Homo-oligomer: A and B are copies of this chain.
């Protein structure tokens, strides 16, 4: 069960590092790295999630975006939101925390906060 360092893992990780605070969709990676198979990319992304390297967020149109983890913790708990600009289509991981109060006796296990609108660059 020892993990191996492979070309594909290195390439995909580099892809994600390059994006910084912005997110990637699986098909972005596919087109940037056409030498690797779709299935392989999905599998590696999942293993990165399991290893706490990236987190996955679902957009408001149901697509998966992947972001480099900063301080998710091992269970990927993050109460920050992700912002998609409807003009430039970039998706940004925002560090602002959101305080959510759930009613008594409700327990939060996971949050997925998505906001779309217009970013500062595009507003000008």
Contact = CB atoms under 8 A, between A and B. Distances in A.
Interface of A: 58-64, 81, 83, 86, 94, 96, 98, 100-120, 123-124
Q: Which 8 A-B pairs have the closest CB atoms?
A: A105-B120, A60-B112, A109-B117, A62-B62, A112-B114, A107-B118, A108-B117, A107-B117
Given A62-B62, A109-B116, A109-B118, 6 more contacts: A60-B110, A83-B102, A94-B103, A105-B120, A106-B119, A112-B112
Contacts of A109: 86, 116-118
A113 B110 contact: no
Contacts of A103: 94, 96, 120
A25 B61 CA distance: 15
A87 B50 CA distance: 22
A104 B120 contact: yes
Task: Say how many copies of this protein the assembly contains.
Answer: 2
Given A62-B64, A63-B62, A110 B117 contact: yes
B60 A59 contact: no
Nearest to A119: B106
29 contacts: A58-B60, A60-B112, A83-B102, A83-B106, A86-B109, A96-B103, A98-B98, A102-B115, A102-B117, A103-B120, A104-B120, A105-B119, A105-B120, A105-B124, A106-B117, A106-B118, A106-B119, A106-B123, A107-B117, A107-B118, A107-B123, A108-B115, A110-B115, A110-B116, A111-B113, A111-B116, A112-B113, A112-B114, A112-B115
